[in-house]
Amino acid sequence: MTRTHNLRAAVAMLLAVGLFALMDAILKLLSPHYSPLQVATLRALSSLPLVLVWVMASVGLASLLRVRWSLHLLRGALAVLMMACFTFGLRSLPLSTAYALFFVAPLLIAALSVPLLKEHVGPRRWAAIAVGLLGVLVVLRPTGEGLATLAGLSVLTAAAAYAVSAISVRILGRSDSTQAMVFWMLTLMALGAGALALPGWRPIDPAHYGLIAGMGLTGALGQVAITEAFRQGEASVIAPLEYSALIWGLGLDLLIWQVLPDAVTLLGAGIIVASGIYLLHRERLRARRGTG
């Protein structure tokens, strides 16, 4: 039964990653036309109606009010920062390169779990974190020749915001539903990013309505799929599948923008991904020992 559940979870995870990659491609297509904060607002608003339907069909609206507001407000602020920085980075970086840098997030989560969650990280996992950060330097090439630009640093800031948000999810998950976390994150992101974007708000081009609708649909369906994946399967089994986003990024870069990252960027991405997968492997071994 566990194997069957893991197989279904793996399919759901791959579907979620593909949907989120399509959403990110739309973010990149919209980024030259609107400010990063306006794109973040549109991303949240376009998904909210569908997420609301999901909430009503699963846990009901009443569950949205029984939450830990302080942590939700923190996640809302982090979501605004993450989405705005990631969208800004996509203006000039290929999707696959942005993913390569964003993949540092699992390494940051492991490192931050020590001071914030009082978890123990052994020397092997610290070594994997260090190697992963070396991979980031390979991608950035901070010699003036690489991607050590404002765009690259913006994606790293987005990854850091995501990592802190993920830590807060571990705490919120003890008391609040997944649906409440998704709904309030999108609602607070829409309100926060919208308020900041309002002074420079640009009228929406009717030609972009389809893209915005697609962004909302892929974002909402991706959230449902990833929730189902983690509900049915073991996290240590399905989490590595998140790295399949790099394949989606490469394909979308080639199909839409006819660009591919260079060999050095791919090498750095490989180092980061390998470090992340090793971290997940060590976490799985630690969980087995704890169960034993």
Instruction: Flag the least confident range among 1-10, 138-147, 269-278.
Output: 138-147
Contact 244, 17 (CB under 8 A): yes
Question: What is the pLDDT confidence band of residue 287, given thresholds at 50, 70 and 90?
Answer: low
Alpha-carbon gap, residue 13 to 3, rounded angstroms: 15
Q: Are 25 and 252 in contact (CB under 8 A)?
A: yes
Q: Shortest CA distance to 21 belongs to which of 95, 80, 86, 79? A: 95
| 33 vs 148, residue with greater confidence | 33
pLDDT tens, position by position, 192-245: 999 999 999 999 999 999 999 999 999 999 988 888 887 777 766 787 888 999
Can you say whether the dihedral through the CA atoms of 196, 201, 207, 209 is positive or negative?
Answer: positive
**Is residue 100 within 8 Å of 157, Cβ to Cβ?**
no
> Is the pLDDT at 290 greater than 70, yes or no?
no
Contact 265, 132 (CB under 8 A): no
Mean pLDDT of 169-191: 90
What is the three-class DSSP state of 176?
coil
Percent of the chain residues past pLDDT 70, beyond the cut: 94
Answer yes or no: are the C-beta atoms of 96 and 250 closer than 8 Å. yes
What does the pLDDT read at residue 143? 52
Q: What's the pLDDT score for residue 224?
A: 86
Rounded to two decimals, what is the model's pTM?
A: 0.89
pLDDT in tens, 224-238: 888 888 777 776 678
Which pLDDT band holds residue 289 (cuts at 50, 70, 90)? low
